[in-house]
């Protein structure tokens, strides 16, 4: 580790690797561009070019990394990034160039997109194999990939990109600067805001699970509503959002959904809520703003969840939650003999409190 006085002469750590032979998954970015993107201050070689990002434990020469100061420091002497995002109080831990920021992890999130390789085919426009209805309104810079289909009366905003095999049914509206990945399906009457990202296999606007009992079995209820996504919504791979039965299913601004999530018909999700993988929300439930749902959380239908509620992984919610806070349920995995005893004890709680029902 370096002393504080070493900061005045940081090593550039430029690699001898030919940048032209580096992986196509990243591109070169100047350290000044990185600092500008995250509002940081360069300390060291301000002419440095960075080629991709590396985890701090196995940082590669010519790469950018970040250090939050919470991990073990044993490996820092062997870590050799060209530059690191770091707080001022932890800057002395590194002899390389530094970008001083208040929150290194947030700074990493803000600059990560700079290192993404530009997608191939920027100038493709509409691929010859795509089928686009004549009355579709396309703004400037729209790209439609191979074998994609866009139905009648749709509007697609400026600089939005559709990957291969995307299907957009009739009467859909997609905002500007969206990224619709391969295999996404938008059913009729879906509206998507600006700067949304839909990962491969997403299905938005599928028919909700609605049936009425009859003497002849189950009578299907035709779902007449649509789906509305706000701005800056991210939807993970193979996530499904059903259209409303009569009113729309509504997903607020800046909502982030992980992979394989199921949101049923008429669900409403408030702004800035985030959900981890395999969450399932039943029909007509409303999730508040700024909520956090851990993996495999299940919420029954027709409930109301307040703003800023945290549901820990695996929680099962069977009644509305009206107060902000953190909620948990489930029994964590344990040896089966111990688990059986735990369940037996739970079943005896009624007798313990003098209740036999």
- Write out the catalytic residue numbers: 265
Residue 186 in tokens: 């938008």
Beta bridge mates, 206: 242
Beta bridge mates, 257: 235, 275
Distance linking the first and last C-alpha atoms of the chain: 66
> Is beta strand 262-263 parallel, antiparallel or unpaired with respect to 240-242?
parallel
Compute the C-alpha angle 288/254/310, nearest 5°: 40
Could you give the CA distance from residue 100 to residue 159 in angstroms, rounded to a whole number? 33
Residue 333's contacts (CB-CB under 8 Å, 6 or more residues apart) are 339
Closest CA to 79 of 156, 157, 2, 187: 2
Could you give the CA distance from residue 288 to residue 42 in angstroms, rounded to a whole number? 40
Could you give the CA distance from residue 311 to residue 292 in angstroms, rounded to a whole number? 6
HSE toward the beta carbon, residue 90, CA cutoff 13 A: 19
CA 228 distance to own-chain centroid:
17
DSSP helix/strand/coil, 208 = coil
Could you give the CA distance from residue 63 to residue 93 in angstroms, rounded to a whole number? 17
Closest CA to 229 of 148, 151, 173, 150: 173
């Amino acid at each position: 580790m370096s002393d504080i006085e070493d900061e005045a002469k940081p090593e550039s750590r430029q690699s001898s690797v030919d940048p032209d032979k580096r992986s196509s998954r990243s591109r070169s970015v100047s350290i000044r561009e990185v600092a500008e993107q995250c509002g940081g201050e360069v300390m060291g070689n301000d002419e440095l070019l960075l080629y991709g990002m590396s985890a701090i434990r196995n940082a590669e020469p010519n790469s950018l990394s970040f250090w939050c100061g919470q991990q073990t420091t044993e490996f820092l002497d062997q870590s050799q990034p060209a530059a690191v995002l770091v707080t001022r109080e932890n800057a002395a831990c590194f002899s390389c160039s530094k970008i001083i920021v208040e929150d290194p992890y947030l700074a990493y999130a803000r600059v990560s997109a700079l290192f993404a390789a530009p997608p191939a085919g920027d100038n493709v426009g509409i691929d010859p194999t795509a089928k686009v209805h004549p009355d579709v309104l396309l703004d400037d810079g729209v790209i439609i990939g191979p074998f994609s289909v866009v139905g009648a009366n749709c509007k697609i905003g400026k600089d939005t990109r559709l990957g291969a095999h995307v299907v957009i049914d009739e009467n859909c509206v997609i905002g500007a600067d969206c990224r619709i990945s391969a295999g996404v399906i938008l059913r009729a009457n879906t509206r998507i805001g600006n700067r949304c990202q839909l990962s491969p296999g997403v299905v938005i606007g599928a028919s909700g699970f609605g049936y009425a009992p009859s003497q002849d079995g189950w009578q299907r209820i035709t779902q007449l509503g649509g789906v509305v996504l706000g701005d800056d919504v991210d939807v993970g791979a193979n996530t499904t959002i059903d259209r409303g039965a009569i009113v729309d299913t509504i997903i607020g601004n800046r909502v982030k959904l992980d992979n394989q999530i199921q949101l049923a018909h008429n669900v409403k999700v408030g702004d800035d809520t985030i959900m981890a993988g395999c969450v399932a929300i039943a029909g007509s439930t409303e999730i508040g703003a700024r909520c956090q749902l851990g993996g495999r959380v299940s919420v029954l239908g027709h409930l109301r969840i307040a703003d800023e509620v945290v549901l820990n992984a695996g929680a099962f919610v069977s009644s509305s939650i009206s107060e902000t806070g953190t909620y948990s349920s489930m029994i964590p995995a344990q040896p089966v003999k111990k688990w059986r005893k735990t369940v037996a004890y739970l079943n005896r709680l009624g007798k313990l409190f003098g209740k036999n029902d």
